[in-house]
Amino acid sequence: MADLDALRARFVRALEGARAPGGGPDPAPYADNLLARWQEPQRRYHTLAHLTAVLDHIDVLAEYAADPDVVRLAAWFHDAVYLPDRSENEERSARLAERALPETGVSAAKTAETARLVRLTATHAPADDDRDGKVLCDADLAVLASPPSAYAAYTAAVREEYGFVPNDAFRAGRSAVLRQLLDLPRLFRTPYGEAEWEATARYNLRSELEILSL
């Protein structure tokens, strides 16, 4: 089970790091709203466990970010709106950030940057000079470099989340996603991600693709 108090504290620290000192209302209701969203019943992979993992990976990669607390806020919002059968989740999540963050005392510039980062998770294709984008995208994709048992649990959760899709259609769609990822010159853009996660992630992706093609 996720530690809700610990997660709430992490949101408060990120928000206070991103906004001016004393610059807004109590963060707790905003944290609770986000925590409730991440616990919605339609979620199987995009859960509090995923949020926690992304936040943990951002902590590992924080030295590469220009504004780590804004990256952390983007992680909180990046799948805050999530329906498996909808394609505009990232856009709707970004709009949620654009509505909520100004109320909390975050500046217009940092709100815009948070929303930009959320939208970037639709493609995971940050520009070469996008330090914050590289950190968020690497943290979001780090699950691909999981050990075998954890990777198997990840793929099972993804399948559950798309339980409404018939098997043949799911296998075709998932295979296309895996090939698209494998065709990228690099999955990970930070030095740490490239050194520590790239090879394992590619092995996992190739193995999953082989299983789907059986």
pLDDT digit string (tens) for 115-127? 999 999 999 999 9
Q: How far apart are CA 6 and CA 65, in angstroms?
A: 23
- Which CATH superfamily is 4-143 part of? Hypothetical protein af1432 (1.10.3210.10)
pTM of the model: 0.95
- Tens digit of each residue's pLDDT, the chain (214 residues): 669 999 999 999 999 999 988 778 999 999 999 999 999 999 999 999 999 999 999 999 999 999 999 999 999 999 999 999 998 999 999 999 999 999 999 999 999 999 999 999 999 999 999 999 999 999 999 999 999 999 999 999 999 999 999 999 999 999 999 999 999 899 999 999 999 999 999 999 999 999 999 8
- Give the contacts of 26 (CB within 8 A, at least 6 positions apart): none
Are the C-beta atoms of 34 and 114 separated by less than 8 Å?
no
| End-to-end Cα distance, the chain | 35
Given this model, what pLDDT does residue 24 score? Answer: 87
Residue 46 per-residue DSSP state: S
Phi, psi for residue 23 in degrees, rounded to 5: -95, 30
Domain borders along the chain are: 4-143, 145-212
Given this model, what pLDDT does residue 22 score? Answer: 75
- Name the residue among 160, 54, 37 with its Cα closest to residue 92: 37
Given this model, what pLDDT does residue 1 score? Answer: 64
Given this model, what pLDDT does residue 23 score? Answer: 76
